[in-house]
A and B are shown apart, each in its own frame.
Chain A
Amino acid sequence: MNHKHLYAASLFVFTLLSPPLQAALRILACEPEWGALAQELGGDDVSVYTATTAHQDPHHIQARPSLIAQARRADLVVCTGAELEIGWLPLVLRRAGNPKIQTGTTGYFAATDFVALLEKPQRLDRAEGDVHAAGNPHIQLDPHNILRVAQALGPRLAELDSQHADQYAQRLKDFSQRWQAAMGRWETQAEPLKGMPIVVYHRAWTYLNHWLGLDQLAELEPRPGVPPTSSHLAEVLDKMKAQPARAVIRAPYQDQRPVQWLHDHTGIAMLELPFTVGGNAQAGDLFGLFDSTVQMLLGVQP
């Protein structure tokens, strides 16, 4: 190896090993909705890496090497909490060798700490399926929850990066105003959806139902987290004959076949709602997520 090669090689190794020069606050978001929110509130002062996409089930993510590498350098992790990420996040945090983001530190932010959870189980028994002791963690489809989380996340960003505290406060104020205006619009638009009967794949739409007053008649999963069985689908089918639903709703990461089956047997509309940011072309950010969700639901109204 001549000197030039040696120089080039050591330069390469240094570039690889040295931390990047940007001073932005590094955020590791567990789910796309929190990644999008962190970006709204952090703007140019943060760099956000989102661990999962809308096509992945946040319950079932592997503690991949790439996630450990991101956690190693993160200044803040923004996750749902309430045990949604229990199958992978604790391991990622422990393996990262990064004391800034361990549970209980300022660098660890769990959105469900700032929201009242629904469906807190009366008793815990795994025979009931994949139940979460703290309550249903899929909080992102009630826009009021997004605002509550934003109001906690904004000050957290300012606390971690006090140099830019004014900018974070300004962005939070700006976001809150735009969000409240948008909520007003969605709520007016969604007025006709009140009481609309629906069937869902997984118990992941509770907060949407709660917000819009949708009437959930059945779930395709016999128990939360247990894939639909033919006997349970037959039960749902019977129920639909007595009281038909307007739509059967699933997230992009859920199996389409049971939904298709129910559609084939009943003619009930199939609705693949975005579920989170990136779930369809329109749901490019948080505003698009709710625009799309409300519009798609209105689309199956008679």
Chain B
Amino acid sequence: MSRSITATLACLGLCLPLPVLAASGDELNQIRQQMETLKRAYETQIKALEERLQKAESLAEENRAGLNEVANAPPADSGGDQSSANAFNPAISVILQGAANSYSQNPDDYALPGFQLGDEAGLPSEGLTLDETEITASANIDPMFYAQSTFSFSDGNVNVEEAYGDTLALPAGFGMRFGRFYSGIGYLNQIHSHAWDFHDSPLAYRAFLGGQYGDDGVRVTWTAPTDLYMMFGAETLAGNNFPGGESQSVTGDVQTLFAKFGGDVGASWAWQAGLSALLANANNRSTDNAASGANTVFNGDSDLYGADVVWKWSPNGNPQIHNLILRGEYFYRDESGKVNVSDGSNDGLLKYNGDQTGWYAQAVYQFMPQWRFGTRYDRLTSDNHLNVVSLGGFADANALIQDSGLADDGHDPHRWSAMLDWSPSEFSRLRAQYNRDNSRLNGTDNQWTLQYILSMGSHGAHLF
């Protein structure tokens, strides 16, 4: 074989348009020498290749001799129905959530004194209600991208809750997400409501993130090549949703930074801790104060800093019979800017500088298969400095400040919650929850909820 290859190479060499005509005898000799060297080099290489081939063939022969099992093994592609075109459909899941809510106080005037609430931060409506119907489709697009979209339906409305692409092929631990998605700050913010441990969001999420903060933008993450899990992320987001206002900058009005760390302690414990910051430049952020009926418009900076920690325990890492989840998050927010307050006839302006904190801690314990009990405590505090710039028709500073909803009145909104849930399978959950809610100044609200969560179709993996 090697001889015929050499011959072919030599022939190729002769056929090449060498400048033979102009060549002198010396040059011809040189060329001959060069060709001789080339020929030798090729022969050595070919010989080495032949040796490797022979070795591989004999090894394979040996394996085959010892292994008559090979004959019994099915062809590698017999794993499933991959040939069917249907298999390329995205994974689709439909999630139905509904509840019956009862409140001892009027839910329409729900407010957190000292905090302006975004549109979706109110209480779920009283009585029998369909919370949210969600359709999620997800798939790997190609070796480069994964995509997921979640549409939520409520009467007369379709919301694109999330619609994003994730990179799969960036090297060195980098990842990118682009489109609309829930920001990676905090712990609970990224988690869809059907996977929450309680029916409602923590007070801190209501006050600082409008329930849950999602927006249009880009995220870059990097995971460190270490045994300790360390992930760092940064996002730039349009800033169209609370705590943002109206997006004005091309590069986005909200920037976030976050880091997550995590690991195992023995087989039974796993933990994750996170730090995050959200820096928002809010333009014309409009909120309604349910208590006073006034509309407020905020312009300024809203900077939120958070820390979160999760501990999960299960005997030997087997959560099927018993497991415990402990979780806490702490937020500090610094807001400063101008607030325009309008009650329809009057239009005042305040200079506002607020220092606010919010935290919650919760424990959820599975005491027998399918049954879990949980309890949670929430607290918010605010220290807002308000100066009247112009009264704009309001009777006095006090009337203006009261209507702004930013007066804390020395009251810290707080709440106790307890819940019991039963999950016949991974695809269904029924829950009862009680909140002793002291958000408002004027006494306790006893809130009761019965809730169901049903999921159809494929059910993707949940975040830790």
List residues of A whose CB falls within 8 A of some B CB.
16-17, 19, 52-53, 55-57, 60-66, 68-70, 72-73, 81-82, 86-92, 94-99, 102-105, 110, 112-117, 126, 129-130, 133-134, 144, 147-148, 151-152, 166, 169, 172-173, 176-177, 180, 225-227, 253-255
Contact = CB atoms under 8 A, between A and B. Distances in A.
A115 B74 CA distance: 6
Contact of B321 (A172, A173, A255): A255
Interface string B56-71: 0001001100110110
Nearest to B168: A102
B267 A55 contact: yes
A172 B63 contact: yes
B270 A66 contact: yes
13 contacts: A56-B317, A61-B317, A72-B224, A81-B79, A91-B460, A91-B461, A95-B231, A99-B169, A113-B76, A114-B76, A151-B70, A253-B318, A255-B320
Interface in B86-104: none
Contact of A94 (B168, B226, B229): B168
B261 A97 contact: no
| Residues of B in contact with A, size category | 35 or more
B369 A255 contact: yes
B223 interface: yes
B312 A62 contact: yes
A64 B270 contact: yes
Interface of B: 59, 62-63, 66-67, 69-70, 72-74, 76-80, 140, 143, 146, 166, 168-175, 221-231, 260-264, 267, 270-272, 312, 316-321, 369-370, 424-427, 459-464
Contact of A225 (B63, B264, B319, B425): B425
B173 A98 contact: yes
A293 to B, nearest CB: 20
Contact of B170 (A97, A114, A172): A97
Contacts of A172: 63
Contacts of B425: 126, 129-130, 225-226
Contact of A17 (B143, B174, B226): B226
Among B63, B267, B312, chain A packs the most CB atoms within 10 A around the CB of: B63
B54 to A, nearest CB: 13
Nearest to B316: A55
Contacts, number: 177
A130 B427 CA distance: 10
Given A17-B224, A69-B227, A116-B74, 13 more contacts: A55-B267, A68-B223, A82-B79, A91-B463, A97-B173, A99-B170, A113-B76, A114-B73, A114-B74, A133-B80, A173-B62, A226-B425, A255-B320
B63 A173 contact: yes
A72 B223 contact: yes
A116 B75 CA distance: 9
A63 B169 CA distance: 20
A147 B62 CA distance: 16
Contacts of A19: 225
A65 B464 contact: yes
B229 A176 contact: no
Given A55-B316, A66-B270, A97-B173, A176 B66 contact: yes
Nearest to A72: B223
A226 B74 CA distance: 32
Nearest to B222: A97
Contact of A173 (B66, B143, B226): B66
Contacts of A81: 79
